[in-house]
Amino acid sequence: MEIAVFILYFVLMMSIGVYFFLKTRGGSEKEYFLGNRQMGPWVTAMSAQASDMSAWLLMGLPGSVMAFGFGKAWIGIGLALGTIANWVFIAARLRRFSKAAGDAITLPQYLSNRFAGTGKALQIVSALIFLVFFTIYVASSFVAGAAVFTAVFPKLDATVAMLIFAVIILTYTFLGGFKAVCWTDFFQGSLMLVALLAVPIVVFITGGLDTAALQEQVVGTETVQAFNNNLFASDWKDIVSGLAWGLGYFGMPHILVRFMSIKKPSMVKKSATVACIWVVLALLATCLIAYLGRMLGGVDLIVAGKQETVFIMLARKLFPTVIAGLLMAAIIAASMSTADSQLLVASSSFTADIYHPLIRKNATRREILWVGRAVVLAVAVVAFFIAKATDGKGAIMNLVDNAWAGFGSAFGPVVILSLFWRRLTYKGALAGIIGGAVVDVAWRLLCSGTGIYELLPGFAAGLLCAVVVTLIDKKPADEVTQIFDAAMTAGED
């Protein structure tokens, strides 16, 4: 029954892709990449959160907290604060600004249009950064998908499992575009939240946590009690690095594009309420799962280096096979909901920001759509080989670490400044993106031993570069400030 439920879920996701392919055939690139700005508040909210969290929420984060203690839970606190700030301060403004800036359909296009199309360098640099970090991000989802498939089908080779997972995502993303991605994310986000809440609720209702007996279990040469002594330990580095994760939201293209797609700016308030409740409940449940996993046999997973499968272990231990199958489908849902969004945003950025304006200015609408689909395939293939090359131990957390910091450092400061600072110039924005990305990568390579997450110095560098270069540069032209003023005076509907 576990396998039957698992397969049925995938049939449903594939059906959504086919439905939107048939429904939107002949549509424009705006239809394929942004849903024609017609997404409602509930779909926008759930899609944004589902594409945000990925299997990292059900595997990477609980595995990290379980293995290294609640110091890692500060990441969850940082993410909750970042989500709330993103919806409150960025969402409605970005919807208005992207519309005023030439009806932009991608983040690089918005940033370029925001400065009246002064040049193509910003679009090209942004699109290239997208391709690099999104490929890494998609690889993390492939690792998670393969882990679940091999748990459900133990005799299945890991490479084959990863390939099957990739083909499923490619099919509905390739066919259905943004609407298919958003609607699958809506269902997947709902399933993720139910799954996360189900585990701790069942444990506490049934009284399944017998801590007295557990303290006598032996792990290697020490008891669980001794092993758990550092469970609640954390230091200032954990706190600072955890909170820094929240800064990443301001530069996440696959989340920001949801703000751009909502039908009306006035709908953002309802979306924000749904999204913020979702993320607080989900992150709280994730930390509880990590604790329960450690107390209910997860120590063996840590010793084996398989701590990221703690949710799978609990699902099978606590629920009958049918429910366990559905809960494991939730992990696949988390992986798919992020990978599909990232594939689509990477594709839209390449076609709208590099291919159409620089390679084939006279490309037809149909050609652009099929080039976009080809890029979806290309990114997925590269991500597949990156995922295949990982050793599996903490791979999901490490890959997401890299991509999250890269996007947050490069784009976070510039997005904020573009929405709130009328004086920001094109050169300042370009300097901020490059400076943030370079410092992020350099810190990762040279200063990782400090224990400070590279997003913090990367974000600070991007902000500093953007502000300094803008102040040195001449003031923006009237047409640039007019775009800012038009966005600020635009109505909510």
474-492: average pLDDT: 89
Residue 425 has what pLDDT? 95
pLDDT (mean) for 306-333: 81
Domain with 248 in it: 2-489
Given this model, what pLDDT does residue 31 score?
Answer: 52
Whether residue 394 contacts residue 370, with contact meaning beta carbons closer than 8 Å, is answered with: no
Burial of 165 (0-12, 13-18, 19+ CB in 10 A): buried
Residue 463 has pLDDT above 90, yes or no: yes
* Residues facing 218 on adjacent strands: 223
The rounded mean pLDDT for the chain is 81
Phi, psi torsion values for 77, nearest 5 degrees: -65, -45
Question: In whole angstroms, what is the distance from residue 124 CA to residue 120 CA?
Answer: 6
* CATH for 215: 1.20.1730.10
Share of the chain above pLDDT 70, in %: 81
Residue 23 has pLDDT above 70, yes or no: no
Q: What is the pLDDT of residues 116-127, one digit of tens each?
A: 866 788 888 988
Q: Are 79 and 307 in contact (CB under 8 A)?
A: no
Q: How confident is the model at residue 152, as a pLDDT?
A: 75
Q: Which residue has the higher pLDDT, 298 or 25?
A: 298
pLDDT digits (tens, 9 = 90+) for 182-236: 666 777 778 888 888 988 888 877 765 555 444 444 444 444 555 455 555 567 7
What 3-state class would DSSP assign to 218?
strand
Number of domains in the chain: 1
What is the average pLDDT across 1-20? 72
For 450, phi then psi, to 5°, come to -70, -20
